[in-house]
Amino acid sequence: MTYSYFPGCTLKTRAKDLDRWGHAAMEALGIELQELPEWQCCGAVYPIARDEIALRLSSVRALATARDLGQPLVTLCSACHHVIKRVNGDMQRDETIRDRANTYLQLDKPYEGEATVLHYLEVLRDAVGFDKLKEKVVKPLTGRKIGAYYGCLLLRPSAEMAFDDPENPTILEDFLRAIGAEPVIYAQRNECCGGYVTLEKRDFAKKRVAAIEDNAAALGAEALVTACPLCMYNLRENGNGMPVYYFTELLAEALGLKEVEA
Amino acid sequence: MQRIGVFVCWCGSNIAATVDVEAVSQALSHEAGVVFSTNYQYMCSQAGQEMIQAAIHEHRLTGVVICSCSPRMHENTFRKTCERAGINPYMVEIANIREQCSWIHKDKAVGTEKAIILGRAAIAKVLLNAPLTAGTSPVTKRALVIGGGIAGIQTALDIADAGFEVDIVEKEPTIGGKMTQIDKTFPTLDCAACILTPKMVDAAQNEKIKIYAYSQVEAVKGFVGNFTVTIRRKARYVDEEKCTGCGLCTEKCPQKKVPNAFNLGLDTRRAIYIPFAQAVPKIATIDADYCTMLKTGKCGVCSKVCTAGAIDYHQQDTLIEEHYGAIVVATGYNPIQLDQFDEFAYSHSPDVVTSLELERLMNAAGPTGGTLLRPSDKTHPHTLVFVQCVGSRCDGGEKGKPYCSKICCMYTAKHAMLIREKYPDTEVYVFYIDVRTPGKNFDEFYRRAVEEYGVHYIKGMVGKVTPQNGKLYVQAADLLGGQQLKIEADMVVLAAAIEPDKSARPLATMLTASMDTNDFFTEAHPKLRPVESPTAGIFLSGACQGPKDIPETVAQAGAAASKVIGLLVKDHLVCNPCVAESNELMCNGCSACEKVCPYGAITYIDKEFRGPNRTTLLRRIAQVNPAVCQGCGACTVACPSGAMDLKGFSNGQIMAEVDAICR
């Protein structure tokens, strides 16, 4: 099975671990991720203004390329997934945005939201299957109590993201169980980490991270796992030392890939 | 040839101000078939009616056209007027020149022209009218009440009081419904059980009332006055005749770990159980999902201890068939499931409870014996946060309900007040969107909670509940103070929205009774016929029609009973003669009409017809039961061969009206 893959800028710079182990793990699971040719920034922040077209264009370019290649488009970074998925929804549902974006881009064939956008976790759940994944685990993370940290971008707005229950998500917990770890369910796992204000209001961001870490720790978590490079940066920079991993790192570890490299 | 009289009403100035009534009666007098035409100030007055009757005699009229208000208003009046003068009532047509003409036009010339056109259409129709005679059907003098909560009990008691037999079908092992689980009732704070259980006993002892507990309606056939209902009596595995309700089996049963549904799963019961001490009927029931004997064939303890020999592990469901003249729906409500509202941590912390669960936690017969204790560690809570409108008044339809559940503001005020009274060391916060307390002594009650009992009412919603270190950290908005609040609470109580019971939707299908988008039963008229379903013979009692508190439910239950009594005192019902009729020579047996009929009035039969050369042909044809048909006309539109026609509204008559309008 082959998918188109959109890494995004952060995964090539600060979040190399997310990308690298993600690739390695999928390869081990028999799935090929083909990097989209000539991909550009996703747009970084989803524009809320409906008449803001320019910031949507780079996502539309990626989506149109994925459509032309005829493969579902997989993303790994929460922010990229959020922006690309929502822009795809705009192109499917909003006639004004669709017309204006296509007028700007002048593609050979106008883009109308035909591509399928998937998050890496959805591929693990639906294409690989958590049951099958469990069978392929060679080094289960037995006894490790880990809190899944979802953040905001993957889950909300739930009607558009259609990813998981925004108030009681389960996909990361199911993933953790599949790789043999013990998921810790804590209430703050779907609350904002403060990452967006970390430069202007560092104190606030620190308060948010503390609330998340304290809540997870109180329920017995030894570490957090995330899919978002921004959360990762914020939790590490403004936290009190609780280890934070990308979920792909733990996946690679469970599949025995890290040892091979070492 | 018909002799038609036209009577144009002024309706004071209601019609005459925008319609030149004299011009209308003049213009219509020239129409074919019209032999008399006049106008008068108030046609519906006694003088007006006498004028019509005099004209009928003087001009030997065979048909009458009244140009006046909507037929919904006075069609019946004028039909009776003409009937008294010797004309068949179905030879009267109303041209609505008020609601559909004078009230909506300002220009008199336009109004007059339209009134003439409407009058012309009515004349064209009367020319094709034929006298119709209403048939009658007998009435079975017995009522069925579906649902044995306070609504169903009250309706049944009132019907029985009038001397009619009435059966209650209740799906649970006991009657009583939600009110049995409630601790105190607002605004008087009297104990719910103390006012309910005597009524339950009254119902059980009333010789006119028969209770089918642990039973469900399986099928409904027939029509108003003549329903045939199949009732499934679910197997209790206990002989109802023999069981004395001593309760010994419920103490000895070794299967102790069954979630107690009566206490909403807050404690456990045995596999054989009596829901609560005052259950009616007080008969034990075996929960087949948990009984070791039924599952593995090994145990039989209850059978051994039962001195009455009532246990019967081989009991089966039985189906019984009964006949009724009227059916009352009293299926009630349930709080919604809260799995979509996990921001309040309901599924993650036992100390986050619903309001109904709190009722059990405060009740002397509840799992804590009436002492309010946190479910997690059985300690006394000091800080309680109530969240109102959980799932109520949600817009967008993504989750929750769009409507106000109506009862939550009052029961939350009740809970807050009772807790502050019993435990003065507590701090109680209530988060609300609006406080809605209309009703007798209701607002005074709420104000007492705030002013006398010091409950902290805060306008705003709770955004997040974080369980941590045995506490519930509540993050909320204080809209009036313009600030974010963080409260360290011991318990959080959610006022979950209420929704119709799940059994209502399939029941509505069986009864062909209509429902709204939220699965509440719709009434025949929202203001003037609030306890009747649009389907004849089906009546509505209690929260199945919309959210209601106890006083309102009891009032509506009584109203439904009076409507039932009004039906059952009749020996015969006069049927509407404007029903569908199938021309059997044109019918091709396609079943299109049967599929669209919302009342189940059409059946198909095989009938012999004479063919050429003395042969006989067997053909499948449609037949309409005139007692069931409501005259909606859906079948006449669906029929591809034009065999189906509606008496009094035939295709020919409608086309004649259209032609007259287009002339």
pLDDT value of position A260? 63
DSSP annotation of A113 = S
Query: Which pLDDT tens digit goes with each residue over A67-116?
Result: 999 999 999 999 999 999 999 999 999 999 999 999 999 999 999 999 99
Selection from A174, A205, A168, A163 nearest residue A186 by Cα: A168
Confirm whether the ipTM is greater than 0.90. Answer: no
Cβ–Cβ gap A168/B347 under 8 Å: yes
Instruction: Looking at the structure, tell me whether residues A69 and A164 fall in a common domain.
Output: no
CB B554 within 8 A of CB B542: no
Does A125 reside within a domain? no
Q: Is B395 on the interface with A (CB under 8 A)?
A: no
Average pLDDT for B422-447: 97
Does A68 reside within a domain? yes
pLDDT value of position B396? 64
Instruction: Looking at the structure, tell me whether residues A112 and A138 fall in a common domain.
Output: no
Interface test with B, best of A149, A164, A167 (most B CBs within 10 A): A167
Instruction: Looking at the structure, tell me whether residues B357 and B493 fall in a common domain.
Output: yes
Q: Is the pLDDT of residue B208 over 70?
A: yes
CA distance linking residue B49 with residue B66, whole number of Å: 11
Instruction: Looking at the structure, tell me whether residues A168 and A116 fall in a common domain.
Output: no
Q: Is the pLDDT of residue A262 over 60?
A: no
- The total of structural domains in chain B comes to 5
Instruction: Looking at the structure, tell me whether residues A143 and A167 fall in a common domain.
Output: yes
| A83: Cα within 13 Å, side-chain hemisphere | 24
Cα–Cα distances (Å) from B89 to B462, B651, B654, in that order, read 63, 20, 19
CA distance linking residue B16 with residue B582, whole number of Å: 43
CA distance linking residue B152 with residue B332, whole number of Å: 9
Instruction: Looking at the structure, tell me whether residues A151 and A207 fall in a common domain.
Output: yes
For residue A176, the domain's CATH number is: 3.40.50.11810
Average pLDDT for B434-449: 96
Q: Is the pLDDT of residue B292 over 90?
A: yes
CA distance linking residue A157 with residue A159, whole number of Å: 6
End-of-domain residue from the set A120, A139, A164: A120
Instruction: Looking at the structure, tell me whether residues B346 and B391 fall in a common domain.
Output: yes
Does B564 reside within a domain? yes
Residue B7 distance to chain A (closest CA, Å): 57
Reply yes or no: is the peptide bond before residue B131 cis, omega within 30 of 0: no
Does B239 reside within a domain? no
Instruction: Looking at the structure, tell me whether residues B414 and B451 fall in a common domain.
Output: yes
- The enclosing H or E element of A5 equals strand A2-6
Instruction: Looking at the structure, tell me whether residues A108 and A151 fall in a common domain.
Output: no
Query: How confident is residue B397, by pLDDT bands cut at 50, 70 and 90?
Result: low
**Encoded tokens for B495:** 């006022």
pLDDT value of position A261? 57
CB B36 within 8 A of CB B67: no
Q: Helices (DSSP H) in B225-354: which residue ranges?
A: 248-252, 292-296, 301-305
Query: Which pLDDT tens digit goes with each residue over B44-64?
Result: 999 999 999 999 999 999 999
Q: Which of A168, A191, A218 sits opposite B342 (nearest CB)?
A: A168
Selection from B559, B573, B478 nearest residue B139 by Cα: B573
Average pLDDT over chain B, rounded to an integer: 95
Does B312 reside within a domain? no
CA distance linking residue B260 with residue A84, whole number of Å: 49
Query: Which pLDDT tens digit goes with each residue over A186-216?
Result: 999 999 999 989 999 999 999 999 999 999 9
**Encoded tokens for B543:** 């929260």
End-of-domain residue from the set B515, B546, B568: B568
| Secondary structure (H, E, C), B10-62 | CCCHHHHCCCCHHHHHHHHHCCCCEEEEEEECCCCCHHHHHHHHHHHHHHCCC
CA distance linking residue A205 with residue A196, whole number of Å: 8
Does B655 reside within a domain? no
Reply yes or no: is the peptide bond before residue B89 cis, omega within 30 of 0: no
Selection from B444, B443, B411 nearest residue B430 by Cα: B411
**Encoded tokens for B558:** 């009584």
Average pLDDT over chain A, rounded to an integer: 94
Q: Is the pLDDT of residue A149 over 70?
A: yes
Measured in whole angstroms, how far is the alpha carbon of residue B84 from the centre of its chain? 38
Average pLDDT for B374-388: 97
Q: What angle do CA B179, B185, B188 make, to 5 degrees?
A: 155
Instruction: Looking at the structure, tell me whether residues A11 and A29 fall in a common domain.
Output: yes
**Encoded tokens for B18:** 């925008």
Q: Which of A158, A167, A218 sits opposite B469 (nearest CB)?
A: A218
Instruction: Looking at the structure, tell me whether residues A206 and A109 fall in a common domain.
Output: no
Residue whose entry in the numeric block shows the structure tokens 């208000």: B69
End-of-domain residue from the set A120, A151, A179: A120
Does B658 reside within a domain? no
Q: Is B465 on the interface with A (CB under 8 A)?
A: yes
Query: Which pLDDT tens digit goes with each residue over B257-282?
Result: 999 999 999 999 999 999 999 999 99
Q: Which residues, 6+ apart, have CB-to-CB distance to A152 below 8 Å?
A: A190, A191, A192, A193
CB A218 within 8 A of CB B468: yes
CA distance linking residue B643 with residue B648, whole number of Å: 15
Does A255 reside within a domain? yes
Instruction: Looking at the structure, tell me whether residues A39 and A62 fall in a common domain.
Output: yes
**Encoded tokens for B575:** 């049927």
Average pLDDT for B155-183: 97
Cβ–Cβ gap B339/A186 under 8 Å: no
Does B438 reside within a domain? yes
CA distance linking residue B320 with residue B339, whole number of Å: 38
Q: What is the distance in angstroms between the CA of the first residue and the CA of the last residue of chain B?
A: 21
Cβ–Cβ gap A219/B398 under 8 Å: no
For residue B619, the domain's CATH number is: 3.30.70.3270
Cα–Cα distances (Å) from A202 to A101, A192, A224, B433, B484, in that order, read 37, 14, 21, 33, 19
Selection from B622, B645, B655 nearest residue B132 by Cα: B645
For residue B228, the domain's CATH number is: 3.50.50.60
Q: What is the number of other CB atoms lying within 10 angstroms of the CB of residue B161?
A: 14
Selection from B479, B464, B401, B398 nearest residue B433 by Cα: B479
Instruction: Looking at the structure, tell me whether residues B477 and B433 fall in a common domain.
Output: yes
Instruction: Looking at the structure, tell me whether residues B115 and B151 fall in a common domain.
Output: no
Q: Is B446 on the interface with A (CB under 8 A)?
A: no
Query: Which pLDDT tens digit goes with each residue over B586-596?
Result: 999 999 999 99
Query: Which pLDDT tens digit goes with each residue over A238-249?
Result: 999 999 999 999
Q: Which amino acid is at B363?
A: N
Q: What is the distance in angstroms between the CA of the first residue and the CA of the last residue of chain A?
A: 28
- The total of structural domains in chain A comes to 2
Q: Which residues, 6+ apart, have CB-to-CB distance to B477 below 8 Å?
A: B460, B461, B463, B483, B484, B485
| Weakest mean pLDDT among A171-175, B337-341, B443-447 | B337-341
The range of the structural domain enclosing residue B641 comes to 580-647
Give the residue from chain B lying closest to A162, CA to CA. B398
pLDDT value of position B10? 96
Instruction: Looking at the structure, tell me whether residues B484 and B524 fall in a common domain.
Output: no
Q: Helices (DSSP H) in A53-187: which residue ranges?
A: 54-69, 78-93, 95-105, 120-122, 130-136, 158-161, 171-178
Cβ–Cβ gap A219/B342 under 8 Å: no
- The enclosing H or E element of B84 equals helix B71-84
- The enclosing H or E element of B413 equals helix B408-422
Instruction: Looking at the structure, tell me whether residues B486 and B342 fall in a common domain.
Output: yes
Q: Is B160 on the interface with A (CB under 8 A)?
A: no
For residue A91, the domain's CATH number is: 1.20.1050.140
Does B136 reside within a domain? no
| B147: Cα within 13 Å, side-chain hemisphere | 30
Instruction: Looking at the structure, tell me whether residues B210 and B321 fall in a common domain.
Output: yes
Q: Provide the strand spans (E) within B456-613.
A: 456-459, 462-468, 471-478, 483-489, 491-496, 498-500, 538-540, 572-574, 580-582, 602-610
CA distance linking residue A123 with residue B633, whole number of Å: 54
Q: Helices (DSSP H) in B235-354: which residue ranges?
A: 248-252, 292-296, 301-305
Measured in whole angstroms, how far is the alpha carbon of residue A39 from the centre of its chain? 17
End-of-domain residue from the set A86, A120, A154: A120
Q: What is the number of other CB atoms lying within 10 angstroms of the CB of residue B379?
A: 11
Interface test with A, best of B337, B339, B341, B343 (most A CBs within 10 A): B343
Residue A24 distance to chain B (closest CA, Å): 35
Using the CB atoms, write b or e for B421-457: b if 16+ within 10 Å.
eeeeebbbbbbbeebbbebeebbebbeebbeebebeb
3-state DSSP percent of chain B in helix, strand and coil, to 5: 30, 25, 40
Residue A232 distance to chain B (closest CA, Å): 22
Instruction: Looking at the structure, tell me whether residues A134 and A248 fall in a common domain.
Output: yes
**What's the burial of B60, exposed, middle or buried (CB within 10 Å: 0-12/13-18/19+)?**
exposed
Instruction: Looking at the structure, tell me whether residues B506 and B450 fall in a common domain.
Output: no
Instruction: Looking at the structure, tell me whether residues B77 and B150 fall in a common domain.
Output: no
Does B661 reside within a domain? no
Query: Which pLDDT tens digit goes with each residue over B315-331?
Result: 999 999 999 999 999 99
Residue B344 distance to chain A (closest CA, Å): 9
pLDDT value of position A202? 94
**What's the burial of A51, exposed, middle or buried (CB within 10 Å: 0-12/13-18/19+)?**
exposed
pLDDT value of position B14? 95
Selection from B449, B500, B494, B389 nearest residue B186 by Cα: B449
The range of the structural domain enclosing residue A105 comes to 2-120
Give the residue from chain B lying closest to A192, CA to CA. B464
Query: How confident is residue A48, by pLDDT bands cut at 50, 70 and 90?
Result: confident
Cβ–Cβ gap A215/B341 under 8 Å: no
Average pLDDT for B555-565: 98
Instruction: Looking at the structure, tell me whether residues A184 and A114 fall in a common domain.
Output: no
Instruction: Looking at the structure, tell me whether residues B487 and B542 fall in a common domain.
Output: no
Cβ–Cβ gap A215/B348 under 8 Å: no
CB A217 within 8 A of CB A186: no
Instruction: Looking at the structure, tell me whether residues B588 and B634 fall in a common domain.
Output: yes
CA distance linking residue A76 with residue B438, whole number of Å: 54
End-of-domain residue from the set B480, B499, B518: B499
Measured in whole angstroms, how far is the alpha carbon of residue B232 from the centre of its chain? 22
Instruction: Looking at the structure, tell me whether residues A135 and A251 fall in a common domain.
Output: yes
Q: Which of A167, A168, A188 sits opposite B466 (nearest CB)?
A: A188
